[in-house]
């Protein structure tokens, strides 16, 4: 397997039938480029994970990165924290993502305690953790499965632990939502995506990526038992929340 990364051109030519979006080999091969050009604030959020961990993570505690894809959050943490500071477990359902993540993390941060598990975050057996990351992953779960997962994650966190939840969001107000979605498409255009790419990817993501509103996220976190949550980052219709376990 090569570790080359390609420019995302998946939706650049007209497709007879646009298939449901999936995290297959084709997506894995261009994923770093796709996510950086498609998620406003992605790099800034990653950069803050280590900063937040420095303030909130008990020394040596476990960090779960759920839906870790290529392990970018693990790399970001390892770039800022020494090896003894944390024990990283990345989890992803896509075998193609998991094998690439293992290769990258093994070669980029051999000193850090890092493991990557292929599995479904809905059924994983969680061990106690100091920090749980859901960086643009919850949005891909069926909405009916989201509340139960959040309750299990709250249970797995140690007292004083934090959960970081980054998501594409839907504004509760329709007019506000339409403006954010239009400017998001402008953002993608400014990053080199054509109208065809934007519209075919939108079709592929229908009923696959289902955004909630910020209000729904905060309400779910409260119901799961988190004593406090706040939105620490927003750029267009993408946001990141932090939730605290007492």
Ligand X SMILES: O=C(O)C(=O)Cc1ccccc1
Q: Residues annotated as binding site for S-adenosyl-L-methionine?
A: 42, 67-69, 120-121, 135, 202
Q: How far is the CB of 45 from ligand X (least distance, A)?
A: 13
Rank residues 166 and 229 by Cβ distance to ligand GEK and give the closer one.
166
**CA-atom Rg of the chain in angstroms:** 18
Q: How far is the CB of 246 from ligand GEK (least distance, A)?
A: 26
Rank residues 72 and 221 by Cβ distance to ligand GEK and give the closer one.
72
73 binds, among ligand GEK, ligand X, none (CB under 5 to 8 A by kind): ligand GEK
Distance separating alpha carbons of residues 40 and 234, to the nearest angstrom? 9
Rank residues 129 and 137 by Cβ distance to ligand X and give the closer one.
137
Q: How far is the CB of 69 from ligand X (least distance, A)?
A: 9
122 binds, among ligand GEK, ligand X, none (CB under 5 to 8 A by kind): ligand GEK
**Interacting residues toward ligand X by CB under 6 A:** 34-35, 38-39, 168, 201, 205, 209
Q: How far is the CB of 204 from ligand GEK (least distance, A)?
A: 12
Rank residues 97 and 157 by Cβ distance to ligand GEK and give the closer one.
97
201 binds, among ligand X, ligand GEK, none (CB under 5 to 8 A by kind): ligand X
Rank residues 8 and 87 by Cβ distance to ligand X and give the closer one.
8
Q: How far is the CB of 159 from ligand GEK (least distance, A)?
A: 25
Q: Which residues contact 245 (CB under 8 A, 6 or more apart)?
A: 154, 157, 158, 159, 160, 161, 162, 163, 225, 226, 227
Q: Which residue of the chain is nearest ligand GEK when measured via CB?
A: 67
Q: Which residue of the chain is nearest ligand X when measured via CB?
A: 38
- For the residues of the chain, what is the DSSP string, one character each? ---------TTSS--SS-PPP---HHHHHHHHHHHHHHSTTHHHHHHHHHHHHHHHPPTTEEEEEET-TTTHHHHHHHHHS-GGGEEEEEEES-HHHHHHHHHHHHHH-TTSEEEEEES-TTT--PPPEEEEEEES-GGGS-GGGHHHHHHHHHHHEEEEEEEEEEEEB--SSHHHHHHHHHHHHHHHHHTT--HHHHHHHHHHHTTTS-PBPHHHHHHHHHHHT-SEEEEEEEETTEEEEEEE--
- CA separation (Å) from 24 to 9, 21, 200? 14, 9, 17
**Interacting residues toward ligand GEK by CB under 6 A:** 23, 35, 67-69, 72-73, 91-94, 97, 120-122, 135-137, 140-141
Rank residues 94 and 104 by Cβ distance to ligand GEK and give the closer one.
94
Q: How far is the CB of 34 from ligand X (least distance, A)?
A: 5
């Amino acid at each position: 397997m090569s570790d080359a990364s390609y420019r995302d051109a998946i939706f650049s030519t007209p497709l007879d039938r646009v298939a449901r979006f999936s995290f297959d080999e084709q997506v894995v091969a261009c994923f770093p480029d796709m996510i950086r050009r498609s998620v406003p604030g992605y790099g800034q959020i990653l950069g803050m994970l280590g900063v937040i961990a420095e303030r909130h993570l008990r020394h040596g505690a476990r960090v779960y990165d759920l839906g870790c894809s290529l392990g970018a959050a693990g790399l970001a943490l390892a770039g800022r924290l020494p090896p003894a500071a944390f024990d990283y477990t990345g989890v992803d359902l896509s075998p193609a993502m998991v094998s690439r993540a293992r290769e990258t993390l093994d070669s980029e941060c051999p000193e850090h305690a890092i493991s990557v598990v292929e599995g479904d975050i809905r059924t994983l057996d969680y061990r106690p953790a100091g920090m749980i990351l859901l960086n643009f992953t919850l949005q891909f779960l069926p909405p009916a499965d989201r509340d139960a997962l959040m309750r299990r994650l709250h249970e797995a966190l140690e007292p004083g632990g934090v959960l970081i939840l980054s998501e594409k969001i839907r504004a509760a107000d329709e007019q506000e939502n339409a403006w954010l979605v239009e400017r998001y498409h402008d953002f993608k255009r400014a990053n080199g995506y054509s109208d065809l790419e934007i519209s075919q990817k939108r079709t592929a993501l229908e009923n696959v990526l289902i955004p909630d509103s910020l209000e729904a996220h905060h309400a779910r976190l409260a119901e799961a038992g988190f004593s406090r949550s706040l939105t620490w980052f927003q750029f267009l219709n993408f946001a990141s929340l932090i939730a605290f376990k007492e």
